[in-house]
Amino acid sequence: MTDAALPQLWHGPLPGRLRLEPVDPLVAVYDRASGQTHVLLAPMPQILAVLEAGPADIAAIEAQLEREHGLAPDPGNRALLAERLEELKVLGLVERG
């Protein structure tokens, strides 16, 4: 099995690192590790909430988001979720590995 074939796990921040404060319609996130403030829109805070419970691969994240938020499964969901995960990675809020 090559590395590329392994399901890639996404890791969220350790408990207590982020302070999330909803200010409708956004969620302001204070990152205690970096001192940075991020302003996030759905589904970013929801992705962070899924990963709070532990690392997960993209299929598991997608399934949980669909279940918790009553979203209809859609072939396009996976690609959008992958984009959002990459954006959270750029912000330093999630890691892949």
Partner 1 sequence: MSHNHALRIGPVSFRIRSDWAAPIDTLRRLYAGYPRPAGAFADATVRLEANRFWRRFIRPSVHIGGDWTIPDALPLPLAQGLLAAEMGMNLQVALGWRRHLLIHASAVERDGRAVMMIGASGSGKSTLAALLGEGNWRLLGDEFALLGLDDGMLAPFPRLVSLKNAAIAEVERRVPADRMGPLLKGTPKGDIRHLVPRADAVARMEEGARPALMLFPEFGAPAGVRGVGAAEAFVRLTESSTNYVALGEPGFAAMMNLVRSVPAVAIGYGSSEEGMAAVEALWAELAP
Q: List interacting residues with partner 1 (CB under 8 A).
A: 19, 21, 23-26, 28, 30, 32, 35-37, 39
Question: Taking the complex as a whole, how short is the minimal distance between the CB of residue 32 and partner 1, in angstroms?
Answer: 7
| CB nearer to partner 1: pick between 21 and 74 | 21
| CB nearer to partner 1: pick between 26 and 49 | 26
Written as six digits, the tokens of 21 are 């404060």
Q: How far apart are CA 19 and CA 78, in angstroms?
A: 27
Residue 28 φ/ψ, nearest 5 degrees: -85, 130
Sorted by sequence, the CB contacts under 8 Å of residue 90 that are 6+ apart come out as none
Question: Taking the complex as a whole, how short is the minimal distance between the CB of residue 22 and partner 1, in angstroms?
Answer: 9
| CB nearer to partner 1: pick between 15 and 35 | 35
Question: Taking the complex as a whole, how short is the minimal distance between the CB of residue 70 and partner 1, in angstroms?
Answer: 24
The number of beta carbons lying within 10 Å of the beta carbon of residue 83 is 10
The DSSP code for 36 is -
